Structure 1
């Protein structure tokens, strides 16, 4: 049986993302009595409402078990496998870590909200970037994002408002709601930053007398398309060829290395691209 190392790598990254997410709850939010959004927020509400008798991990797993059935039908089995894996990892860690960290790592509640929200967003963002989800409102956000170009972080932001407002029923305390909204906003922002960062692209213009060799290497080695454009150097009045290439930002250094090996005197211009849609990049959605 052939081992799919790409999928194994993806699962490892998802596990790391979920570990960061669960650590944020166990080390900052739960010990500080702060309710964030998502199923974890519902689990925290149940945890405090039951006088800490029902661990967050238990509620997290049971609620997500129902939501994942919907996701399997709409988003497919591949999504389901990664999300089930993420939910299992999250359920275990949310059941174990709060017992190991009974006190918040910072005494200031506002700092706990900021650090916890940022770490939670990074963890969820890493998980989503690998095609998985931490469950709950993330699943709904990914379903909507599958058909529309709407930021997952923004969707989660709106969906979590009601959950955090519900904390008033348990705590009878308005500041707790405010802290929850701080966590929610920072988490949503961090998710967008992580996801957009993993999808950033670069557009390169390459001018070289060895344009044919460079184009062949880029298409053959990196499996990226190349467009060739005619140009005239205004100073030299010579006809030239310009190669236009769009790649992921992390692939740009490989392009520079490849060009340097073929023509050390080549001219390269690189610019960041806000969004690239089509074959090899993001799917065009209506």
Structure 2
């Protein structure tokens, strides 16, 4: 199983966001917004002497096994690493800042902040073909076999927890949990969409050869060449098309600005690119 250092770093960043949002915003307000963290918050509200981080660790084993069998060992390995990182970070935060209390009496704003932070972290993790563990493994399985988006799959997997939160923590907390799950699913989809957005660029320039060389040699991307006839001068034109991430597009735009400030460029946003050099088709 091969996991590069960039993946490990990003998984740790995602784990830190999830742990921070859970411990400082959701847990103090007893908002069980899905996942094993939600189940842990429910149990902790009944048995406050059992640490939330320890509860989260204890609930992962069966779901890990299911994830490894159904989705594969790479997903399973990343998920185990992520899940135990979150649990360990929550335990560490509990040691450094024990008995954390709500920051204010405004539960709604703390719910929104907590979900924003957790959703950002979960989006980063899901984008790396991993999950934060727990019910997110179920969401990943739903996504694999139905092509329902990850965010909506998380929503489906967490509904039962929000119902339990309503029964155990009260209607008010339960409604907050339901709102949290809905917000969380939306944020996850938005984060994944933004991390996988590209620019489809079409260029007409009198310096096409230099632009093609720059795309291939400097940006390490390929390009497709079309030939078109201009309606105004009835002349043949070479159209260079390529797909770049946002950083690469800015480099190309700045290069063309210096090389040919009269070049004609059209840009379209692309939400997903599959195939060689991009996301593997699965």
**Does the alignment reach a TM-score above 0.5?**
yes
Match of 1:83 in 2: 79
Work out whether residues 27 and 98 of structure 1, in 8 Å CA contact, stay in contact via their aligned partners in 2.
no
Query: How many angstroms does 1:260 deviate by?
Result: 4.3
SS of equivalent to 1:271: strand
Query: How many angstroms does 1:261 deviate by?
Result: 5.6
Work out whether residues 32 and 104 of structure 1, in 8 Å CA contact, stay in contact via their aligned partners in 2.
yes
Work out whether residues 167 and 174 of structure 2, in 8 Å CA contact, stay in contact via their aligned partners in 1.
no
Q: CA RMSD in A?
A: 2.2
SS of equivalent to 2:112: helix
Match of 1:74 in 2: 70
Aligned residue runs from structure 1 range 132-143, under 5 A? 132-143=130-141
Match of 1:93 in 2: 89
SS of equivalent to 1:270: strand
Match of 1:114 in 2: 112
* More displaced 10-residue stretch of structure 1: 136-145 or 37-46: 136-145
Work out whether residues 125 and 195 of structure 1, in 8 Å CA contact, stay in contact via their aligned partners in 2.
yes
Extract structure 1 runs of 4+ deviating beyond 6 A. none
Match of 1:54 in 2: 50
Distance in structure 1 (CA, Å) of the matches to 2:197 and 2:138: 24
Confirm or deny that 1:196 pairs with 2:186: no
State the number of aligned residues.
279
* More displaced 10-residue stretch of structure 1: 20-29 or 268-277: 268-277
SS of equivalent to 1:31: helix
Match of 2:156 in 1: 158
SS of equivalent to 2:203: strand
List alignment gaps of at least 5 residues for structure 1.
Answer: none
Query: How many angstroms does 1:22 deviate by?
Result: 1.1
Match of 2:204 in 1: 207
Match of 1:27 in 2: 24
Distance in structure 1 (CA, Å) of the matches to 2:10 and 2:279: 21
Give TM-score, length-normalised by structure 1.
0.89
Distance in structure 2 (CA, Å) of the matches to 1:87 and 1:71: 12
Distance in structure 2 (CA, Å) of the matches to 1:145 and 1:168: 27
In 2 relative to 1, CA 79–262 (structure 1 residues): closer, same or farther, beyond 3 Å? farther
SS of equivalent to 1:160: helix
Confirm or deny that 1:64 pairs with 2:60: yes
